[in-house]
Structure 1
Amino acid sequence: MKKTAPHILNASTNLLGFCLVIITSLKITKFNHHSYLDEFTMGAIFCLTISCTLSFLAIKSTDKKRSDKFENIADVLFFAALLCISLAVCIVSIDVV
């Protein structure tokens, strides 16, 4: 099995920074009361944070079985975060148009 934990860690940290910028922007503009955008973004932040942690643990783990388990869970959570970000983008697109 190809190791994807370093890629998950890299992508998760980048998207986590993106989500934190979105949340900060929503709080500054007081836009968070008008839509579910902040809920989807917080869901993505939660999934990405856990995904980052698990992919880091998968990289550092010496036990192959445990490393694969951490990597698989991190992969699923990363995909869930991508779904949350996609829904957030749809909400922004609908509000802009």
Structure 2
Amino acid sequence: MTRIDHSRHILPTAANLLGFTFVILTSIRGLGLARNTTVADLTGVCVILFALSTLLSFMSIRSHGRSMLNYELWAERIFLAALITCVALSILLVFDLV
């Protein structure tokens, strides 16, 4: 698998997760489901990270040469950070720690 093929896998996944977390954030804020703002804040962080990953992945596909690899590397790192944040948020919610 080449680097550009890898970036083409990150883009749709990050975009889908961006939409999913955005719907969750809108539901939490709009319906007042969060007892405190920690859950909404962490969900907001996930939205921002997935948005950045989506943007960088798209830029990686559209660019050439060394800049392509830089965009893709940062897209992967930010995507992983977003996934870790979502896992942490899930653990906090499952064990009712917030």
TM superposition score normalised by structure 2: 0.86
How much does 1:17 deviate? 0.9
Residue 11 of structure 1 pairs with residue 18 of structure 2: no
Runs of 4+ in structure 1 deviating by more than 3 angstroms, as ranges, are none
RMSD value over aligned CA atoms? Answer: 1.5
C-alpha separation in 2, matches of 1:51 and 1:85: 14
**For 1:32, what is the secondary structure of its paired residue?**
coil
- 2:53 alignment counterpart: 51
C-alpha separation in 2, matches of 1:86 and 1:2: 28
Identify unmatched segments of 5+ residues in structure 1: none
How much does 1:35 deviate? 4.9
- 2:81 alignment counterpart: 80
Identify unmatched segments of 5+ residues in structure 2: none
**For 2:95, what is the secondary structure of its paired residue?**
helix
C-alpha separation in 1, matches of 2:35 and 2:52: 26
Residue 70 of structure 1 pairs with residue 74 of structure 2: no
Question: How many positions carry a matched residue from both structures?
Answer: 94
**For 2:79, what is the secondary structure of its paired residue?**
helix
How much does 1:94 deviate? 2.0
Identical columns (%):
29
